[in-house]
Amino acid sequence: MSKKTKKENNNEVRFERVELLNALKLAQMVAAKNSPKQTTECALLAIRGNECSVRATDLEVAIEKKIACRSEINEKLFEAALPCAELYRAVSQADDDEIVIRHMKEHNEIITMDGVYRFNAIDPALFPDGMFGFNVDGGIEMKIAELQEAAGKVVCALDASASSRYALNGVLWDKGISMVATNGRHLAKTVLKKETSKVQTNKRQIISKRTVVLLSHIEADEDEVCKVELGENGIFIKTDKLYITGPLIDGNFPKYEEVIPAGCEHSVYFDAERVIRQVRRAKILEGDYENEKNIIISSETGCVIFDSENQKLGTASMKIPIESDTKNGADDFEIAVKSKHFLAALKTLEKFRLEVTDSDKPLVLTDDETTHVIMPVSGI
């Protein structure tokens, strides 16, 4: 390789690999796939001095993440549009602590210690920037880490595929106090920590599933504050280093309050990690822990039992002892639910209470802040 000129050096930007990778991880969740508009498949890197803004949009959801960089481009704005998925893979596969991006006339180079990727130049002026730059002045003020945590606790109740019931393709933002999601078989509700919210709202609006999934993957400083504004057609979330916007869904969210049981006949207190271990052990004969098959939950004196069955191989039963004063209700219980819903709910909890009324009534897992309601299945 020939010796670099001073001009080439001036077109180089250096990034901490981990920081660039984290920004691209979010960007590639948003960038379009197989789009006729090539620029919607790109991440736009806008560099001015020692700050880089990484942007991506599919014209429905948009994200901008600001990260530190090192360059000699101090005054003018330097922009590069690069295919997001391929850029993410290139950076993720690198062993370097530092990644260098060099802007050339005909292409952009991603330089690692083992080699170089040369991406054909894409005109950054074609990148759709109409979804960026909105002011977020009012709305709700809260810690972004707690918003991320809330999103992560309810997103498990959303199906991966689109629901025929349009309102179930999103998460209900209920008056700025709670977030609720359901796929019809599993409902998740979590209460946002009230002390972090300085401005309340009376709005009940449905945030798109993709926006909530994106929120659940954010890595933020514990004390970093964001502003959340619900417009007529979209939600806007902004911090000093992050900007997200996504659509709101027009429709009537199910009356979830009617689904959550008011009381129960039996309740047992558990540590979620311990239950997850026992359920996975019970599911070993089935091969896939989180499949569509059932897990049967029952109780007898001094323990709760988790049963599964593989008709070809046999059955498995795993027990967890319980203290005599942790079980309310004189009679034993038995209920069957889908394994994938049960395990998904457990992963959002630590210490929780398992509540059962009857085999044909919903199973409830709750720590009072977060509540999961799982519909039973027949055939015990």
In 64-138, which residue ranges form alpha helices assigned H by DSSP? Answer: 84-93
Helix, strand, coil abundance in the chain, percent, nearest 5: 25, 40, 40
Residue 278 resides in a domain: yes
Q: Is residue 134 part of a domain?
A: no
| Domain end marker among 62, 94, 126 | 126
Last-in-domain residue among 230, 256, 282 = 256
Tell me, yes or no, whether 15 lies in a domain. yes
- Assigned domain for 133 exists: no
Angle at alpha carbon of residue 374, lines to 368 and 376, rounded to 5°: 140
Are 219 and 194 a contacting pair, CB within 8 Å?
no
Where does the pLDDT of residue 196 fall: very low under 50, low under 70, confident under 90, or very high at 90 and above? very low
Size of the chain, expressed as the number of residues it contains: 380
- Residue 49 placed within a domain: yes
pTM: 0.85
Q: Same domain for 57 and 81?
A: yes
- pLDDT of res. 322: 81
Look up residue 148 and give its DSSP letter. H
> Helix crossing, 209-216 with 144-154: angle to 10°?
120
Asked if the structure places residue 132 within a domain, the reply is: no
| Residue 59 pLDDT > 80 | yes
Higher-pLDDT residue of 348, 78 = 348
In a domain, 380, yes or no: no
Please, which residues have CB within 8 angstroms of residue 70's CB and are 6 or more apart in sequence? 13, 14, 15, 50
Query: Do 169 and 94 sit in the same domain of this protein?
Result: no
Do residues 184 and 244 both lie within one domain? yes
Residue 91 DSSP SS3: helix
Residue 289 has pLDDT above 70, yes or no: no
Tens digit of pLDDT for each residue in 232-261? Answer: 888 999 999 999 999 999 888 889 999 998
For the cut 70, the answer to whether the pLDDT of residue 323 exceeds it is no
pLDDT in tens, 132-148: 877 766 678 888 999 99
Q: 164 with 248, same domain? A: yes
The residue that leads in pLDDT, 69 or 159, is 69
The answer to whether 341 and 273 have CB atoms below 8 angstroms apart is: no
Q: Is residue 131 packed enough to be buried (19+ CB in 10 Å), middle (13-18) or exposed (0-12)?
A: buried
Residue 203 and residue 216 in contact, taking contact as beta carbons nearer than 8 Å: no
Domains held by the chain: number = 3
Question: Do residues 252 and 273 both lie within one domain?
Answer: no
Q: Are residues 307 and 320 in the same domain?
A: yes
User: Would you say residue 2 has pLDDT above 70?
Assistant: no
Secondary element (H or E) of residue 65: strand 62-68
- Got the DSSP string for 231-242? -SSEEEEE-SSE
Q: Same domain for 246 and 147?
A: yes
**Where residue 203 sits, what CATH number does that domain have?**
3.10.150.10
Same domain assignment for residues 168 and 238: yes
Per-residue model confidence as pLDDT tens digits over 6-43: 445 557 899 999 999 999 999 999 999 988 888 999 99
Give residue 145's domain range. Answer: 140-256
Strand 107-112 with 98-103, pairing:
antiparallel
Whether the Cβ atoms of residue 293 and residue 308 lie closer than 8 Å to each other: yes
> Based on the domain organization, do 242 and 343 belong to the same domain?
no
In a shared domain, residues 204 and 116:
no
In a domain, 249, yes or no: yes
Neighbour tally for 186: CB within 10 Å: 24
Same-domain pairing of 152 and 209: yes
Residues 221 and 302 in one domain: no
Q: Pick the last residue of a domain from 237, 256, 275.
A: 256
